[in-house]
């Protein structure tokens, strides 16, 4: 195995995109799909800070599902589809659809099963809507 150079590492696209079916968003029978991309390491750092996985602190996690989904859904060119300003709107979408996408986002973020369980446990204790307050 060859040792990679800085340029080679920077050229590697290590954030694949998956096409995800969202039946709740298929209103006319033409298909309800979104593209979800593996988020960057700095995105994971931001989410870990929000949920305080490392420290075990209890905090409000309102809007976490929508935030994580927002960080993964991309346009055809790979750019983020939604902005920070769209989190509240995403939080008002079908809980069933967002929960499906949230589960995929958790996997794409690379959370282990144990970390996923901790996040879900904390969410069940404090999150009930899509508002953006942390």
- What CATH number is associated with residue 99? 3.30.2220
Dist. CA 34–CA 72, nearest whole Å: 10
Are 36 and 73 in contact by the 8 Å Cβ rule? The answer is yes
Q: Which domain, by its residues, includes 65?
A: 33-126
Structurally, the chain folds into a number of domains equal to: 1
In the 8-state DSSP scheme, what is residue 72? Answer: T
Query: Is pLDDT above 60 for 92?
Result: yes
The answer to whether residue 68 sits within a structural domain is yes
β-pair type (33-37, 73-74) = antiparallel
- Least confident segment among 36-45, 46-55, 62-71, 122-131: 122-131
Query: Is pLDDT above 50 for 63?
Result: yes
| Of 20, 70, 19, 62, nearest in space to 43 by CA | 70
The answer to whether residue 60 sits within a structural domain is yes
Confidence of residue 131 (pLDDT cuts 50, 70, 90): very low
The answer to whether residue 7 sits within a structural domain is no
Instruction: Share the mean pLDDT of the chain.
Output: 85
Are 74 and 37 in contact by the 8 Å Cβ rule? The answer is yes
């Amino acid at each position: 195995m060859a040792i990679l150079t800085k340029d080679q590492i920077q050229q590697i696209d290590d954030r694949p995109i998956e096409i995800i079916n969202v039946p709740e968003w298929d209103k006319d029978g033409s298909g309800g799909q979104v593209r979800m991309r593996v988020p960057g390491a700095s995105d994971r750092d931001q989410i870990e800070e929000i949920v305080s996985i490392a420290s075990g602190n209890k905090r409000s996690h309102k809007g976490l599902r929508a935030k994580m989904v927002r960080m993964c859904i991309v346009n055809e060119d790979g750019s983020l589809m939604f902005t920070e300003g769209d989190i509240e709107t995403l939080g008002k979408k079908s809980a069933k659809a967002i929960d499906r996408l949230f589960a995929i986002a958790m996997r794409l973020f690379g959370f282990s099963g144990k970390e996923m369980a901790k996040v879900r446990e904390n969410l069940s204790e404090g999150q009930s809507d899509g508002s953006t307050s942390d």
